[in-house]
Amino acid sequence: MKVTVRFFAHLKEEVGIECEQLELCAGSSINDLVEALRERYPSLRNDEKYLIAVNSVRSKLDRRLAEGDVIALLPPVSGG
């Protein structure tokens, strides 16, 4: 299944892209995706502080992903 991953703020700069599509095995969880991303972008291993949102909703790491999901890696926020 295909999912889209979005990066923001310093994570976007560390991985060098804003957005990418990834092919995952059916039934993959957010945990599986994070592991795959850490393999692909070793700099993510140094940064444990980001939250994950699936389709704009904060999600737990054991959530199963579905075809077409948009997963965002969110560093600590600083708006206002």
Partner 1 sequence: MIKITREDFSVDEVIKSLKKREVGGIVTFVGIVRGESQGQLVERLEIEAYEEMAVRDLEEIRRTAIERFLVEEVMIVHRVGDLKVSDNIVLIAVGATHRQEAFDACRFILEELKRLVPIWKKEHILGGRSTWVRDEPTSAS
Q: Which one of residues 4, 29, 53, 63 is an interface residue with partner 1 (CB under 8 A)?
A: 53
DSSP state, 9? H
Among 16, 56, 62, 67, binds partner 1 (CB under 8 A): 56
Angle at 47 between CA 30 and CA 39, to 5 degrees: 55
Q: How far is the CB of 6 from partner 1 (least distance, A)?
A: 7
State the DSSP string of 11-50.
Answer: HHHHHT-SEEEEE--TT-BHHHHHHHHHHH-GGGGG----
Q: Is 16 in the site for partner 1 (CB under 8 A)?
A: no
Closer to partner 1 by CB, 19 or 27: give it.
Answer: 19
Residues that bind partner 1 (CB under 8 A): 6, 8-10, 53, 56-57, 72, 74-80
